[in-house]
Amino acid sequence: MIDFQLQIDSRILQAILPQLEKTFALACKRGGFSYSCPNPMDDDFVEAWELGLKQDFSQDRKALAKLFRNPKFKHGYIEVADEEVEEVLRCLTELRLTLREHSLGELSDKDLEKGDVENGLDNSSIRIAYFAYLVMAEIQEVLISKIS
């Protein structure tokens, strides 16, 4: 089991929890099919490719849902079973991609990569989405350091 405490203000965490929930629901609804199959002319191949990814993504989401539903999570405590770390890492990436697409569209790629977004955070919904984006990155950073 990997466990650690997030180093963030509890008020920020409370503010982003609804955003995480919303983004998770959105990612589940989207299905995650923005990835191109290398053989788009072969319908059977495309179907098998998408079905495979759909099943893999679903497994990943189950692992992240477990983390989010853990009562300790709302207090910033992260608990992930060793055998589910990869699934959680992948699904956090999916949620960050979803946030980027749906809630952080006003920020440029360049600013987002550099973390230079102060000017874009006047809008409170963008600010909360950005904090959620950072918190998920923080969870990924720590998980990666623990398994490396």
Partner 1 sequence: MSADVNTDLLEETKTSLELAQVWKVVVLNDPVNLMNYVVMVFRKIFGYGEQKAIKHMKEVHELGKSVLWSGEREEAESYVYQLQKWRLQAVLEKDD
Catalog residues that contact partner 1 under the rule CB under 8 A: 32, 35-36, 38-39, 49, 52-53, 56, 89-90, 93-94, 96-97, 100, 109-110, 112-113, 137, 140-141, 144-145, 148
Measured from the Cβ of residue 119, the count of other Cβ atoms closer than 10 Å reads 8
CB 145 within 8 A of CB 4: no
- Which is nearer to partner 1, 17 or 134 (by Cβ)? 134
- Shortest spacing between CB 124 and partner 1, in angstroms: 22
3-class DSSP assignment, residue 72: coil
Q: What residues pair up with 78 in beta bridges, in sequence order?
A: 4
Closest distance to partner 1 from the beta carbon of 118 (Å): 17
User: Is the Cβ of residue 9 or residue 56 nearer to partner 1 in the bound state?
Assistant: 56
d(CA 121, CA 76): 23
